[in-house]
Amino acid sequence: MSKEPNAKLEMEIARQCAPVLAGLKPSNLLILEDRLTAPRDAFPEGAGLSARLLYQGPRKSIWLVYRRVELERVLALPEIREFLKEWGYSESCMDCMLRRLAARFAACREKKQAFPHEMGVFLGYPLGDVKGFITYGGKNYLYSGYWKVYENVEETKKQFQLFEAVKTSLTEAVRNGMGIWGALQERLPQPV
């Protein structure tokens, strides 16, 4: 593969998944045009990153990029497990849950069922915000950034600021030819 598509792929990964790459979030969606390769092909060995195809459409693919250990930890929390059971996730293995999520997401994209809003917990959103979004149908939120916020606004704003700082750092590194993986070795903005 030529260097140009890899640079474009790296830029998309940096732009859409910076908080995951920096270890600040367990996962994120990555939407790619079909001409780009699978994201897992861009991850260096030992990066601790995985990618699961959630949907392959005619013009784009939608991936879940995740850190396995961190996502397993989130999905094992008792309150998350109880919440997911309400949405039909009776499985205990993460890969089984991800298969169910992918099937529900694909059915939504194909207009066969509603959006699987439980996806928010897979993306590391606070459970209160996921429940708030479901309860209020995406309305009546207190703040909006990486997700709609229904609780802990000030704390979440700080988190969003850190996400933005990391995204800026990584996209600038890619733009300047350093690449994501080189930038991750350098000092990134840290939580305050």
Do residues 18 and 170 make contact, with C-beta atoms less than 8 angstroms apart?
yes
Can you read off the two tokens belonging to residue 176? 């300047």
Q: Are 29 and 109 in contact (CB under 8 A)?
A: no
Residue 56 token pair: 């392959």
Q: Bigger pLDDT: 98 or 48?
A: 98
Q: With a threshold of 0.85, does the pTM exceed it?
A: yes
Q: Can you give the length of the chain in residues? A: 192
Q: What is the pLDDT of residues 132-171, one digit of tens each?
A: 999 999 999 999 999 999 999 999 999 999 999 999 999 9
CB 143 within 8 A of CB 153: yes
* Helices assigned H by DSSP within the chain: 3-21, 68-76, 78-86, 94-109, 119-122, 127-136, 153-175, 180-185
pLDDT tens-digit readout, 71-130: 999 999 999 999 999 999 998 899 999 999 999 999 998 889 999 999 999 999 999 999
Residue 3 has pLDDT above 80, yes or no: no
Distance CA 20, CA 77 (A): 19
Residue 30 in contact with residue 16, Cβ under 8 Å? yes
Assess contact for 132 and 151: CB atoms under 8 A. Answer: yes
Q: Give the pairing type, strands 148-149 and 143-144.
A: antiparallel
